[in-house]
Amino acid sequence: MDFESPDVEKDFPGLYASESGRKSNESDFSDGAEHEKPSKKDLLGRRKDKKESKKDRGYAALEGESSPEEDTDTKSPSKSKKTKSFKFPTKSKEKREKSRDKEKVLEDAIKQKELSEKEKKKEREREKEREKEREKEKKEKEKREKLREKDKIKRTAMVYSVGSRVRVMHHLRSVFAKEKEEKAKFKLESKEKLKDEKKEKGKDKEKEKVKEKEKEKVKEKDKDKKDKKLTKVPSTVTSGIPFEEIFTLGVALPIFGVPLQQSVERSRCHDDTSLPLVVRDSIDYLQANGIKSTQIYRSEPDKIKLQQLKKLFTDRGPTFPYHWDVPVACAMLKNFISELPDSILTQELHGQFEQVTAIAEPQRETTMLALIGKLPAPNYSLLGWLMRHFECVVANEQINHVNIQTIATNMGPALNMSLNLLTYFISKAEKLFPDVHLSKYVPPLASIPADFPDSAQAISLELHKQESLLNQIHAEMHAGFITPARDQQLWEAQRIVTQLKRKLRSVQKSVEPHSLQQHQISVDEKQPDEEPIRRLSQSQPQPQPKSTTPQDTDTKTPNEPLPNQEVKESPNDPTFEAEFEDNFDNFKPEKEVSEQEPPPAESIKEKPKLTEKELKVLRLELENAEYLQLKSLLQAKINSEQFEIVKLRSAVALKNKQEGSQCTKDSKECNSQDEQELRQKLIKENALLEQKRLNLINQIFQERVACIQLKIELAMKEILSKS
């Protein structure tokens, strides 16, 4: 008996695999051989128990959790071990796991009784919820809402009445955990993951259905966010438990299995690449550690590790290097993509993309480019990043033995595109996605270090990230996720933003020596820390002092003497701004590039040998960085000018109102010859001044461009000498 059961499994693997359904047990019993099996397995388990008990103690708690979960299917806890054996496909690995499960269950029966009962209850609740949700799907949205609400309350009540804080602890940890806690959690969660995986394998199809439903639910949730907020919060109040401990951000606003756009919004990279953080981190990891690995897009990942990582991303927790390895990163990418409800190429365009591969070459590329241009931004970046990444992988075929075929077999099903199309994308990645550059993501800083770079560009870059982070926190809070921790995060992010803004302003001020000298002195007296910044920034961005000072003078000086002239002048200002804006529009495509790849230093590290092409790229990047800096400066100027205009206009309007009629009469009466001469003189002078001003602006701009070129030369030489 004892030795029979494993053989049965080996001989008829399909038997167990086919019984994937939840309530498939009944069908099992029709088969005589299988009917007996549970008892055999039990015996087997006991026997093994004695042998292996010492090894696997660490798993006991885990298995305790996992076994009850499956019980829920039969809803009789005592059967748990038996039913398990039926459910899963009979791969040897899983067998081992199963048998271990049993051992644990028996071995730590006393301990587990408690745990498993709790888990069972929870599981039953979950099951009920799922079932209810399925029913709900048929009903109207509003009804669904109410039901879910009830479920939630029930669930919370159950969880607490049972007194098991395990789940809550999970969530707490995942949100606030530091590394040690993370490791502890790793173990705990790995159990959960284990069972989940088993379940998934066994119930593939059903699960998928459930998932789809859940996805739909998610969509509804988004729609009804506001309603939910109202309903959720009271429920937490009544139960006295912080809202997020029961219903985490990850549960309510998942990032897996939702439309790409949502995923990007919920877990964004704060440097304007519209990629979900999961994708960015996975590609970053692979680019850094996987390109030369023979495991890339080939090896199967450690499932536990994968699930753990996935949970971390879902809960927006931090990840640490020990969470990652090459197969896991590949699988993470695959997992994310395959869970997307829509094709990367979008439903509408997918067919067209496939058709384009049939077109002959010269036209193919242009049509493809046009099609790619139609993709929404998140889809474009995801596709671009993936293909550029694959391109890198395939380029190292000599080392990692991965070719397009390998990638196609590994990722093809997830990407859902033909080999032809994938091959085309990968081989032409550089042409098709010219503005996608794989750069490592640097998340927003948690605090501003004392040695933070002092260049306006670095500051505004970080500022931009922090503001993006701040927006996300606000969005999460508006979605109803309000916790003391998030409040604190909000204040901290806001403080950093303020700090950066001040720093940026002081850097910019330091470049405008005339107009704001007085202020600056007072600032510097109180903030000696910022002085070195000023000196540095003065030595670095040379074009700015030249540009800003004349600009200041020529906008301000004509304004001061004659208040009436302001009205004449101000309409000119917008055009003047437009001139600059236009000039910079030309650089926009390049700007995007530089935003994605801000640190040229990094690219050097990654590619120690600089080819001519790379040099060109580097030069362009530097140029873009400079122009970006210039742009932000000018933008600031424009803003202040605009404000000035508004202010002056309102002042003029006020004066006109007050003395409107009188003035006109007066002016008509006093049209003596002297007056007229004076007026004509003034008008002529104004015209002259205007001409001069325009000339100056042109000169300034040219000089600025020259300065930038020179700076880039300098920087290039420095880089070359270093490398």
Partner 1 sequence: MLETPNPSTNPRNLYTWCACLVSPAKMSKKPAAQPTLHKVIMVGSGGVGKSALTLQFMYDEFVEDYEPTKADSYRKKVVLDGEEVQIDILDTAGQEDYAAIRDNYFRSGEGFLCVFSITEPESFDATQEFREQILRVKNDENIPFLLVGNKSDLADKRRVPLDTCRERAQHWQVPYVETSAKTRDNVDKVFFDLMREIRSRKSDDSRATNGDVKKKKGKKMKCSIL
Q: Which residue has the tokens 């087997």?
A: 44
Q: How far is the CB of 238 from partner 1 (least distance, A)?
A: 16
Q: How far is the CB of 463 from partner 1 (least distance, A)?
A: 12
Cβ-contact 391, 287 below 8 angstroms: no
Residues 6+ apart with CB under 8 A from 700: 546, 547, 550, 551
Q: How far is the CB of 235 from partner 1 (least distance, A)?
A: 17
* Cα-to-chain-centroid distance, residue 66: 32
Which residues in the 404-443 window bind partner 1 by CB under 8 A?
none
Residue in 46, 167, 474, 591 binding partner 1, rule: CB under 8 A: 474
Residue in 180, 526, 609, 613 binding partner 1, rule: CB under 8 A: 526
User: Which range of residues in 99-107, 227-235, 330-338, 496-504 is near partner 1 by CB under 8 A?
Assistant: 496-504
User: Residue 519 interacts with partner 1 (CB under 8 A)?
Assistant: yes
User: Residue 76 interacts with partner 1 (CB under 8 A)?
Assistant: no
Cβ-contact 469, 270 below 8 angstroms: yes
**Phi, psi dihedral angles at 268 (to 5 degrees):** -95, 160
Q: Residue 292: name the closest of 370, 436, 393 by CA.
A: 393
Residues 6+ apart with CB under 8 A from 706: none
**For the chain, how big is the Rg over CA atoms in Å?**
33
Q: How far is the CB of 527 from partner 1 (least distance, A)?
A: 7
Residues 6+ apart with CB under 8 A from 167: 122, 159, 246
The full length of the chain comes to 723
Which residues in the 638-697 window bind partner 1 by CB under 8 A?
640, 643
User: Residue 477 interacts with partner 1 (CB under 8 A)?
Assistant: yes
User: Residue 260 interacts with partner 1 (CB under 8 A)?
Assistant: no
Tokens read off for 462: 């970080």
Nearer to partner 1, 266 or 509 (CB): 509
Q: How far is the CB of 478 from partner 1 (least distance, A)?
A: 7
User: Residue 165 interacts with partner 1 (CB under 8 A)?
Assistant: no
Q: Which residue has the tokens 């390049």?
A: 590
Nearer to partner 1, 285 or 481 (CB): 481
User: Which range of residues in 51-59, 405-413, 479-487, 663-671 is near partner 1 by CB under 8 A?
Assistant: 479-487
How far, in Å, CA of 432 to CA of 365, rounded?
Answer: 8
User: Residue 705 interacts with partner 1 (CB under 8 A)?
Assistant: no
Residue in 368, 482, 617, 707 binding partner 1, rule: CB under 8 A: 482
How far, in Å, CA of 179 to CA of 434, rounded?
Answer: 39
Q: Which residue has the tokens 């000039």?
A: 583
Q: How far is the CB of 574 from partner 1 (least distance, A)?
A: 20
Nearer to partner 1, 526 or 657 (CB): 526
User: Residue 459 interacts with partner 1 (CB under 8 A)?
Assistant: no
CA-to-CA separations, 24 to 80, 198, 206, in angstroms, rounded: 14, 15, 12
Residue in 18, 522, 702, 723 binding partner 1, rule: CB under 8 A: 522
State the DSSP code for 276.
B
How far, in Å, CA of 615 to CA of 611, rounded?
Answer: 6
Residue in 27, 527, 680, 723 binding partner 1, rule: CB under 8 A: 527
DSSP 333-351: HHHHHHH-SS-TT-HHHHH
User: Which range of residues in 307-315, 342-350, 435-443, 493-501 is near partner 1 by CB under 8 A?
Assistant: 493-501
How far, in Å, CA of 635 to CA of 627, rounded?
Answer: 12
Residue in 487, 606, 659, 718 binding partner 1, rule: CB under 8 A: 487
Cβ-contact 700, 550 below 8 angstroms: yes
Size of interface with partner 1, in residues (CB under 8 A): 21
Residue in 176, 320, 322, 491 binding partner 1, rule: CB under 8 A: 491
Q: How far is the CB of 253 from partner 1 (least distance, A)?
A: 17
Q: Which residues bind partner 1 (CB under 8 A)?
A: 474, 477-478, 482, 484, 487-488, 490-491, 494-495, 497-498, 501, 519, 522-523, 526-527, 640, 643
